[in-house]
């Protein structure tokens, strides 16, 4: 049996068996986007950490503060032009141009795809060439009016495997929605896979 508790605007799902684990879940919404996600298994989610910068959620290991953590994942939507034939590539090129202004000579390489639990397919990109020596990996989904993405900045001192696992875990929970009516009211919760 699945129970949903509303706590401070976030939905927390719990499966009624001994092996269940608690995962924070939320959604990003605005006039041009709406998508659901869940925190990586065992990680915390903070909806306020970077909200002033247009970032609806930051995920970090438990017991850490997101600014001091050794690794994190965040999600963000960005608008896309209606006539753009490859909006994800446009977003990638925008990131490269932004960092070039900051004297970082980044390179970006598409390293694969990720199919989310309910079928959305995202492109997986890796960025290298940061002055600090780290890298970033992101999963980019082409939404109706926005590119919705999850990114894991990987510092030199971070364990890349941990960061990638967390990134792919949260990205796999991605669900594009037509509206952001809470799922209990819209009936969308019935469409979520077990544990989501």
Q: Which of 4-8, 108-112, 161-165 has the highest mean pLDDT?
A: 108-112
Question: pTM for the whole thing?
Answer: 0.80
Predicted confidence band of residue 157 (pLDDT cuts 50, 70, 90): confident
Integer Cα distance of 94 and 75 in angstroms: 17
DSSP character at residue 39: P
Over its C-alpha atoms, the chain yields an Rg (Å, rounded) of 17
Contact 101, 85 (CB under 8 A): no
Higher pLDDT, 14 or 106: 106
The whole-number average pLDDT for the span 22-28 is: 83
Mean local confidence (pLDDT), 44-69? 82
Work out the number of other CB atoms within 10 angstroms of the CB of residue 161.
Answer: 9
- DSSP-derived secondary structure letter, 90: H
Q: How many CB atoms lie within 10 A of CB 113?
A: 10
Q: What is the distance between the alpha carbons of residues 134 and 41, in angstroms, rounded to a whole number?
A: 24
Structural element, H or E, at residue 163: helix 160-172
State the Cα–Cα distance between residues 19 and 106, nearest whole angstrom.
43
CA angle 165, 167, 171 (to 5 degrees): 120
Token pair, residue 59, equals 């995920």
How far apart, in whole angstroms, are the C-alpha atoms of residue 9 and residue 26?
Answer: 8
pLDDT by residue (tens digit) across 91-147?
A: 999 999 988 877 678 899 999 999 999 999 999 999 998 887 889 999 999 999 999
Identify the pLDDT of residue 175. 94
If you ran DSSP here, which 8-state letter would residue 107 be given? E
Can you give the pLDDT at residue 83? 93
- How would CATH label the architecture of 32-181? 3-Layer(aba) Sandwich (3.40)
Is residue 4 classed exposed, middle or buried when 0-12, 13-18 and 19+ CB atoms within 10 A define those classes? middle
């Amino acid at each position: 049996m699945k129970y949903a508790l509303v706590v401070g605007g976030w939905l927390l799902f719990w499966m009624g068996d001994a092996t269940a684990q608690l995962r924070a879940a939320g959604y990003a919404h605005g006039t041009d986007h709406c998508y659901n996600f869940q925190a990586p298994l065992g990680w915390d989610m903070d909806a306020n950490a970077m909200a002033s910068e247009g970032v609806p959620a930051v995920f970090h290991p438990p017991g850490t503060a997101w600014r001091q953590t050794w690794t994190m994942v965040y999600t963000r939507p960005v608008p896309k032009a209606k006539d753009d034939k490859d909006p994800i590539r446009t977003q990638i090129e925008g990131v490269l141009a932004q960092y070039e202004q900051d004297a970082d000579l980044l390179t970006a390489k598409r390293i694969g795809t990720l199919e989310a639990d309910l079928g959305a397919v995202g492109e997986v990109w890796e960025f290298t060439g940061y002055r600090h020596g780290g890298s970033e990996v992101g999963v980019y989904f082409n939404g109706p009016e926005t590119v919705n993405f999850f990114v894991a900045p990987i510092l030199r001192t971070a364990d890349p495997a941990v960061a990638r696992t967390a990134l792919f875990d949260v990205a796999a929970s991605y669900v594009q929605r037509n509206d952001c009516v809470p799922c209990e009211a819209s009936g969308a919760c019935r469409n979520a896979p077990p544990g989501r």
